[in-house]
């Protein structure tokens, strides 16, 4: 990969979606040095303009370009499984460093699945890097320092996931329902005035696809393949901001105060003392922290603990994590530039 004079040539695939739009904002905020920008999207978003890092691009359709990744240094994929399956490795072959938000490569043994605060070292010389699920990322940020200090015996989590995590169409459906509409097309049930414990296809074991993703991805990120992890994924009537009620037990004895001290000093975590906590409305669009509060002993499981975690799912839960992956790859010179 070669650095263009004055910055990098960047492509955003899925530029018209909520994650693609957030990526553009994050690149601006983090002063990511762009020499040029290409943007790819659906037929519906084609022709719209996207701005990032002082550059501007008209959104194109991938299939309309004979060599869409020619001269691209970094390609962010945020367009879903089918697009990543078809184009991500082609972008790598064209010379790009690819960070993919889809689920296609996350559990592939040859592809690192990265949350920089937890496992930046996994990036290595790889040119294709998977960006985890928007619920897995804050969970990994919170648990990784605890795992390093005390180990983990098990983890159980209930997620309360905002509608934006299901994409722009689901978010528009939520907003229409909030205005009094009753259409249900992109979510399994009406979400306004409701909570939906269904996120992805059901499996024979009774778990939904999202729940299985969270468990499998957390194990891979923490490099603990035998760690018992269970999840219940719930969609809630919130526009932006995922929340999680987390239960865990350390492998080695630890007190509540010891765990609190680890969380206070961990990167990207904002720890709340006592019974304090953050809520999605207070963090959405505000920052890239993982907000951890209500840490307390689990009275039902000796040696266990409970806490409440909140994160902006479009920022740290998706776009910011992807940009941080590239920053780590570049700054550590793990990819030749």
For residues 95, 100, 106, 110, the Cα torsion angle rounded to the nearest 10 degrees is 0
Q: Is residue 142 within 8 Å of residue 307, measured between CB atoms?
A: yes
CA 43 – CA 61 distance, rounded (Å): 6
List residues with catalytic annotation: 134, 242
């Amino acid at each position: 990969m070669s650095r263009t004079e004055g910055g990098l040539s960047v492509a955003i695939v899925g530029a018209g979606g909520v994650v693609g739009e957030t990526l553009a904002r994050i690149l601006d905020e983090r002063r990511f040095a762009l020499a040029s920008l290409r943007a790819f999207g659906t037929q519906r978003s084609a022709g719209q303009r996207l701005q990032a890092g002082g550059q501007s691009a008209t959104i194109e359709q991938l299939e309309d370009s004979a060599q869409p990744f020619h001269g691209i240094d970094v390609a962010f994929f945020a367009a879903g499984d089918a697009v990543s399956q078809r184009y991500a490795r082609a972008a790598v072959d064209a010379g790009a460093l690819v960070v993919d938000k889809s689920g296609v490569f996350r559990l592939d043994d040859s592809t690192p699945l990265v949350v920089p605060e937890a496992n930046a070292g996994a990036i290595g010389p790889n040119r294709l890097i998977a960006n985890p699920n928007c619920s897995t990322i804050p969970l990994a940020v919170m648990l990784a320092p605890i795992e390093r200090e005390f180990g983990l015996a098990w983890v159980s989590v209930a997620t309360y996931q905002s509608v934006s995590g299901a994409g722009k169409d689901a978010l528009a459906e939520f907003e229409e329902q909030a205005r009094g509409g009753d259409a249900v097309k992109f979510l399994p049930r009406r979400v306004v005035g409701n909570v939906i414990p269904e996120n992805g296809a059901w499996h024979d074991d009774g778990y939904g696809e999202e729940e299985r993703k969270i468990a499998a991805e957390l194990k891979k990120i923490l490099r603990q393949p035998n760690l018992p992890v269970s999840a219940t994924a719930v969609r809630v009537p919130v526009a932006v901001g995922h929340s999680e009620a987390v239960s865990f037990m350390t492998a080695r004895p630890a007190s509540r105060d010891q765990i609190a001290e680890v969380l206070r000093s961990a990167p990207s975590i904002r720890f709340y003392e006592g019974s304090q906590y953050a809520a999605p409305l207070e963090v959405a669009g505000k920052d890239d922290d993982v907000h951890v509060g209500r840490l307390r002993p689990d009275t039902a499981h000796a040696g266990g603990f409970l806490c409440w975690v909140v994160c902006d799912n479009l920022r740290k839960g998706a776009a910011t994590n992807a940009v941080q992956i590239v920053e780590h790859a570049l700054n550590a010179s793990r990819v030749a530039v």
